[in-house]
Amino acid sequence: MWRELAAVGRDSGSGGYRRYAWTPADTDCRAWFRAQAEDRGLAYETDRNGNQWAWLGDSAAGDAVVTGSHLDSVPDGGAFDGPLGVVSAFAAVDELRARDVRPHRPLAVVNFGDEEGARFGLACVGSRLTAGRLAARDARELRDADGVTLAHAMERAGYDPDAIGADPERLARIGAFVELHVEQGRALDLDGHPVGVASAIWPHGRWRFDFRGQANHAGTTRLEDRHDPMLTYAETVLAARARARTSGALATFGKVAVEPNGVNAIASLVRGWLDSRAADEDTLAEVVAGIEQAAREHGARDGVSVEVVRESFTPVVEFAHDLRDRLAALIGADTPVPVLPTGAGHDAGILASAVPTAMLFVRNPTGVSHSPAEFAAEDDCAAGVTALADVLEGLACR
Ligand SMILES: [Zn+2]
């Protein structure tokens, strides 16, 4: 399966994957999924939102155990983020058959569309639509960098954009959803475990900080006379790092826009985007309030005005405790497995609001993700498949 997927959407220059929703690379990934389903004699279907399903057993029977992930990528993404969950799901079905166990609940492998949001700017579009967390009208109007709407892109890929929308009937068939994913951090590596169980997805949000000063000549304006928003911005970045460290949270200014953006001009405006995440919503609110306060204090000193706008916020996702504990028991009978939170969003985080949901993580020795350097060792991938098969057998066959 890895060999077949290896070349799809891979940029020969960067070595990274560019599998964006409703592009030819995405279509190739979808064709691969369908072929995997049909090769195994699984009943293949796409739902109204373009998510792909491969069923073992009666899809209409209800109480299904569903596993899978996504096949799309970020720009120059790695090979494992998403595909590891889909490949492992098919491999786990093979493993169940090799064990000669018979599911008494329907099983399905799923590929959720447009998880990364690389093309239209919103993550988890396929699962959001299905779970009723994104209105069909809003989704259809999403635009890519070339101004192409999601509706038009879907149509060109052979799907009907008028059909998209909440799909409660499909969700009602699912008794449990388990997403296996490469870990996007080093917790398992530091712990020395190949596989772990997710406890929660940290709450996270994005805030835009506008620092407004006064444009002026870099060669003639005395230091005392400047209103330089770059200084305030720099102090705010440092404050964010300090706040995150003392609170055990994460705070990142990863994107910045400067006006007029001239080498020999003091900036008039620096706009910086803060991404912050923490274990709980109170801590996150405290961290962001602290960063905002530092920005205002430095702004007052620098003669720079500061405006902060919250652009998005995703509350904490606690995975269903009984399902999480069941997974930990099923795969940790001999050696207890780590149960760990993550700061990254997933389709499982969207589904968790509608169906009992859990996640398995597979060790990533460097922790690097969303990069061609993302990696999981073959033995660890195999351990992930065994763990997933144990989970599916425990949930669906006993
Ligand atoms: Zn992913």
Contact 54, 33 (CB under 8 A): yes
To the nearest 5 percent, what fractions of the chain are helix, strand and coil?
35, 25, 40
Rounded mean pLDDT, 61-86: 97
- For residue 333, the model assigns a pLDDT of 87
Ligand 1 midpoint to CA 298 (Å): 38
Q: Per-residue pLDDT tens for 342-366?
A: 999 999 999 999 999 999 999 999 9
Ligand 1 midpoint to CA 236 (Å): 30
Q: Per-residue pLDDT tens for 276-302?
A: 999 999 999 999 999 999 999 999 999
DSSP designation for 149: B
Confidence of residue 253 (pLDDT cuts 50, 70, 90): very high
Rounded mean pLDDT, 327-351: 94
| Cα atoms in the Cβ-side hemisphere of radius 13 Å centred on 14 | 16
Neighbouring CB atoms inside 10 A of 267's CB total 25
Ligand 1 midpoint to CA 134 (Å): 19
Rounded mean pLDDT, 206-214: 97
Q: Per-residue pLDDT tens for 145-204?
A: 999 999 999 999 999 999 999 999 999 999 999 999 999 999 999 999 999 999 999 999
- For residue 292, the model assigns a pLDDT of 98
Ligand 1 midpoint to CA 227 (Å): 43
Q: Per-residue pLDDT tens for 81-118?
A: 999 999 999 999 999 999 999 999 999 999 999 999 99
Ligand 1 midpoint to CA 299 (Å): 38
Q: What is the mean pLDDT of the chain?
A: 96
- Write the CA distances from 201 to 68, 315, 322, integer angstroms: 18, 9, 16
CA separation for the pair 307, 223 (Å, rounded): 24
Contact 216, 226 (CB under 8 A): yes
Please name the residues in contact with 293: beta carbons below 8 A apart, sequence gap of 6 or more: none
Ligand 1 midpoint to CA 73 (Å): 8
Confidence of residue 334 (pLDDT cuts 50, 70, 90): confident
Q: Which residues of 42-51 are buried (b: 16+ CB within 10 A; e: fewer)?
A: bebebbbbbb
Coil/strand/helix, residue 115: coil
Ligand 1 midpoint to CA 265 (Å): 41
**Distance, CA of 230 to chain centre:** 31
- For residue 145, the model assigns a pLDDT of 92
Ligand 1 midpoint to CA 315 (Å): 18
3-state secondary structure 302-338: HCCEEEEEEEEEECCEECCHHHHHHHHHHHCCCCCCC
Ligand 1 midpoint to CA 286 (Å): 28
E strands, 183-334, in order = 195-201, 204-212, 216-217, 250-259, 265-266, 269-277, 305-314, 317-318
Using DSSP bridges, classify how beta strands 339-342 and 317-318 pair: parallel, antiparallel or unpaired. unpaired
CA separation for the pair 92, 86 (Å, rounded): 10
Ligand 1 midpoint to CA 7 (Å): 19
- For residue 267, the model assigns a pLDDT of 98
- For residue 398, the model assigns a pLDDT of 84
85 compared with 121, residue with greater pLDDT:
85
